[in-house]
C-alpha cells in the first residue's frame, strides 16, 4: 500500500476471485500518529475465514427471507383469489429471475398484499383467464420504461398521490382480509367490505362457541396478539426471528393438536396442475381489447411506483441517479413477463422483506436468490407443512401488515399542507369507494388541478397612499392569462394622474398576456408606472419595451435609471 494526499491505494490490482467477496482486509494500527495498513489478501487462512463468515451471513439472511416470504406468498395468493401455489411460484420467479437482474443488494421482490388487491379486482372484472395477458403486458411496459430511461418520471408524481394510493391499498387489505380472518366471504367492493364489518363481527361472536367462525376469530385474535407481543418483548437474540413465522407456527400447532374445524390452506401436490400458460393467439386477442390494455397500464404503474419507492427508501444512493431505477424496472419487467406467460401473480418490490434482508447483513443478491431455491425445496420436500396452516391466520397476518402500512403512511403526512392533504384524502376515499384504478385516476386529476391552480394563481394586494398619491401594487404567484380578469379589474380601479408602483418581488412568472395588459394600461394612463423587478425571478426586464430608458420630452429633466426599476412615463 502506498500513501497519497487523498488516502491509501493498493500497489497491485485485486485478483478477480478476491474482488467480488470483498477479500481486501486490512488492519489499522495507530502508532505514533502513523497508520500502517497490513495487507492480508495472500493469507489463505484469513481468506477462508472471511468466506465462511460471508457464507454464514448469506445463509442466515436467506432463511429469514424464506420464513417471511413463504407464508406471505401463500396468503397473498389466497387474498387475490388464485390458487396458493401461484403465490409461491411468483415468489420463486421474483427471486431466481428478477433477483439476478436487480440493481440493489437489498430489494426483495415477490407477490405483495397491496398488489393482491389490484389482482383481485382484475380477476373479478376480466376473469382469471385474462390475468396472464395483463401481467405479461405490464411486464413489457416496465421493460420499455426501463430501456427508455423513463424511471425518472416517477419522481415527478405528487407524494400525496402515491401515499394516498398506498393508504387506499392498505385499507383495502384490512377490509377484505378482515372477513376472511373470520372465515367469512369477502364482498365485491372495498366499500361494502368496510360497511359490513360490524355485521360480520356480530354474526361471528353471537354464534355458538364451537362454530367454525368463532374458532377462526379466536385464532386470528391470538395470532395478532402473538405477533405484536413478539415484536415488542422478544429477547434480543430471538428478535431476529420474524413474528410472522412465530405466529404461524404457534397457531398452526394449536389448531393441529386440538383438531379445530377451521379452514386450512388447500395446497396441491402438483404445482403445475392449475397452470394455463398464455398462448400467442390468446395474447393477441387480449391486446385488441382496450379494457385489458388499461388494466395492464394500471398494473405497470402501480408495480413500478411501489418498487421504485421501496428501492429509494432502502438505498439512499439510488436517489442520486436514475441508473438503478431504470435497471430495477427492467428486472421487475422481466419477472412480470415470465409470470404473465405462466398466468400467475405479478411481482413487486416488497418493503417488509427488503428491510429484513438489509437488517440481516446482505451485501449482494445471494440471499435473494438463495431464499428462492430454498422455497422450491420446501414445497417439493414438505408440502404437508403448508396444508396445516389455517387460512384465518394468514389473513390475520395480512390485516396486521395492512395496519402497519397505513399507520406508517399517516405518520408521514403530518407535515402536509392543506392542499396535499386534500389530494391524499380524495385518493384514498376514491379507492375505497370505487376501485384502485378509478381512485388513482381521481387523485391524479385532483393533483394536476391543484398544480394548475398554484401555477396560475395570482394574489394582488393594493396599497394606497392618500398623501403622496402613490399606489403600490404587490403581485405574488403567477401572472398568467387565467388571472387577466382579476388584474384588469384592479387596474381599472386606479385613478388617472396617480403614480403606480408595481412590486414583483414575490412574482414567480408573468406570461405575455399579462405583460400586454400592463402595456396597454400604461399607454392609457396619464401618470408614471414604476416596475420593480430586482427581486423577481421573472424575465420581464429583458423585454425591449421595459428595458429601455424612459422617454424624455423637450425641456424635461432626464431622471437617472435606478437598478432594477423600469420607469414608464406617458405624461
Domain boundary among 450, 469, 498: 450
| Sign of the dihedral through C-alpha 185, 190, 192, 198 | positive
Give the span between the Cα atoms of 112 and 545, in whole angstroms. Answer: 61
> What global pTM score does this model have?
0.70
Give the span between the Cα atoms of 531 and 540, in whole angstroms. Answer: 9
Domain boundary among 427, 450, 473: 450
Is residue 380 located within the same domain as residue 520?
no
Is residue 375 located within the same domain as residue 511?
no
102-123, pLDDT tens digit by residue? 878 888 999 988 888 889 889 9
Is residue 382 located within the same domain as residue 513?
no
Give buried/exposed letters for 385-398 (b at 16+ CB in 10 A, else e). bbeebbbbbbbbbb
Domain count, the chain: 3
Is residue 264 located within the same domain as residue 125?
yes
Considering only CA atoms, which of 103, 110, 118, 117 is closest in space to residue 88?
A: 110
Check: CB of residue 333 under 8 Å from CB of residue 147.
Answer: no
Q: In the chain, how many H helices and how many E strands? A: 22, 11
Is residue 10 located within the same domain as residue 37?
yes
Is residue 474 located within the same domain as residue 511?
yes
Is residue 99 located within the same domain as residue 219?
yes
Tally Cβ neighbours within 10 Å of residue 417. 8
CA angle 493/495/498 to nearest 5° reads 125
Is residue 396 located within the same domain as residue 484?
no
Tens of each residue's pLDDT in the chain, 571 residues: 444 444 444 444 444 444 444 333 433 333 344 444 445 545 555 557 777 777 887 888 888 888 888 888 888 898 888 988 899 999 999 999 988 888 788 889 999 888 888 898 899 889 899 999 999 999 999 999 999 988 888 877 788 888 898 888 889 889 988 988 888 888 878 888 899 999 988 888 876 666 788 889 999 999 999 999 998 888 877 877 788 888 989 999 999 998 888 888 887 777 777 888 888 888 998 888 899 999 999 999 989 988 888 887 777 655 555 667 889 999 999 999 999 999 999 999 887 788 778 877 777 888 889 989 988 888 888 788 888 889 899 889 889 888 988 888 888 888 888 889 999 999 999 989 888 788 888 998 998 888 888 777 888 888 887 776 788 888 888 888 888 888 888 888 887 777 788 888 888 888 888 888 887 877 777 656 777 655 444 444 444 444 333 443 444 444 444 433 343 444 3
Helix axes 290-314, 323-342, angle to 10 degrees: 130
* Total length of the chain: 571
282-317, pLDDT tens digit by residue? 899 888 889 999 999 999 998 998 888 888 777 765
Is residue 443 located within the same domain as residue 462?
no
Check: CB of residue 338 under 8 Å from CB of residue 97.
Answer: yes
3-class DSSP assignment, residue 537: coil
Is residue 355 located within the same domain as residue 476?
no
Is residue 142 located within the same domain as residue 10?
no
Owning domain of residue 462: 458-569
Amino acid at each position: 500500500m502506498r500513501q497519497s494526499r487523498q488516502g491509501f491505494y493498493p500497489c497491485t490490482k485485486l485478483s478477480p476471485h478476491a474482488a467480488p467477496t470483498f477479500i481486501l482486509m486490512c488492519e489499522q494500527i495507530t502508532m505514533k500518529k502513523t497508520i500502517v495498513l497490513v495487507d492480508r489478501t495472500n493469507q489463505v487462512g484469513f481468506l477462508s475465514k472471511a468466506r465462511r463468515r460471508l457464507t454464514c451471513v448469506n445463509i442466515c439472511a436467506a432463511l429469514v427471507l424464506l420464513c417471511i416470504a413463504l407464508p406471505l406468498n401463500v396468503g397473498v395468493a389466497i387474498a387475490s383469489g388464485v390458487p396458493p401455489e401461484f403465490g409461491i411460484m411468483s415468489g420463486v420467479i421474483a427471486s431466481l429471475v428478477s433477483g439476478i437482474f436487480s440493481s440493489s443488494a437489498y430489494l426483495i421482490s415477490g407477490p405483495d398484499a397491496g398488489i393482491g388487491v389490484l389482482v383481485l379486482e382484475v380477476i373479478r372484472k376480466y376473469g382469471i383467464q385474462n390475468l396472464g395477458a395483463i401481467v405479461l403486458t405490464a411486464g413489457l411496459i416496465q421493460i420499455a420504461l426501463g430501456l427508455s430511461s423513463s424511471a425518472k418520471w416517477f419522481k415527478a408524481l405528487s407524494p400525496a398521490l402515491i401515499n394516498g394510493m398506498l393508504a387506499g391499498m392498505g385499507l383495502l387489505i384490512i377490509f377484505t382480509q378482515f372477513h376472511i380472518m373470520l372465515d367469512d366471504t369477502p364482498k365485491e367492493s372495498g366499500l361494502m367490505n368496510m360497511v359490513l364489518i360490524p355485521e360480520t363481527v356480530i354474526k361471528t361472536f353471537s354464534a355458538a362457541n364451537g362454530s367454525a367462525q368463532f374458532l377462526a376469530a379466536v385464532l386470528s385474535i391470538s395470532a395478532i396478539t402473538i405477533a405484536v407481543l413478539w415484536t415488542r418483548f422478544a429477547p434480543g437474540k430471538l428478535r431476529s426471528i420474524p413474528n410472522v413465522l412465530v405466529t404461524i407456527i404457534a397457531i398452526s400447532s394449536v389448531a393441529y393438536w386440538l383438531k379445530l374445524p377451521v379452514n386450512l390452506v388447500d395446497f396441491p401436490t402438483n404445482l403445475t396442475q392449475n397452470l394455463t400458460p398464455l398462448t400467442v393467439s390468446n395474447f393477441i386477442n387480449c391486446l385488441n381489447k382496450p379494457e385489458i390494455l388499461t388494466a395492464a397500464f394500471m398494473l405497470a404503474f402501480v408495480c413500478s411506483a411501489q418498487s421504485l419507492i421501496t428501492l429509494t427508501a432502502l438505498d439512499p444512493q439510488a436517489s442520486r441517479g436514475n441508473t438503478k431505477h431504470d435497471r430495477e424496472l427492467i428486472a421487475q419487467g422481466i419477472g412480470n413477463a415470465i409470470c404473465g406467460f405462466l398466468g400467475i401473480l405479478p411481482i413487486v418490490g416488497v418493503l417488509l422483506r427488503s428491510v429484513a434482508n438489509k437488517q440481516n447483513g446482505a451485501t449482494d443478491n445471494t440471499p435473494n436468490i438463495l431464499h428462492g431455491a430454498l422455497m422450491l425445496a420446501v414445497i417439493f420436500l414438505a408440502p404437508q407443512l403448508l396444508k396445516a396452516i389455517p387460512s384465518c391466520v394468514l389473513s390475520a397476518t395480512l390485516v396486521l401488515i395492512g395496519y402497519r402500512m397505513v399507520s406508517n403512511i399517516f405518520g408521514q403526512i403530518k407535515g402536509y399542507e392543506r392542499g396535499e392533504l386534500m389530494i391524499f384524502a380524495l385518493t384514498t376515499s376514491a379507492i375505497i369507494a370505487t376501485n384502485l384504478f378509478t381512485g388513482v385516476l381521481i387523485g391524479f386529476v385532483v393533483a394536476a388541478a391543484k398544480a394548475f391552480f398554484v401555477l396560475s394563481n395570482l394574489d394582488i394586494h393594493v396599497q394606497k397612499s392618500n398623501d403622496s398619491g402613490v399606489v403600490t401594487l404587490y403581485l405574488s404567484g403567477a401572472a398568467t392569462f387565467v388571472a387577466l380578469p382579476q388584474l384588469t379589474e384592479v387596474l381599472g380601479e386606479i385613478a388617472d394622474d396617480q403614480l403606480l408602483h408595481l412590486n414583483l418581488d414575490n412574482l414567480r412568472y408573468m406570461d405575455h398576456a399579462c405583460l400586454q395588459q400592463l402595456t396597454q394600461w400604461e399607454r392609457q394612463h396619464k401618470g408614471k408606472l414604476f416596475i420593480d423587478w430586482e427581486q423577481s425571478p421573472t424575465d420581464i426586464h429583458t423585454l425591449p419595451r421595459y428595458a429601455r430608458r424612459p422617454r424624455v420630452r423637450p425641456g424635461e429633466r432626464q431622471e437617472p435609471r435606478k437598478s432594477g426599476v423600469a420607469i414608464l412615463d406617458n405624461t
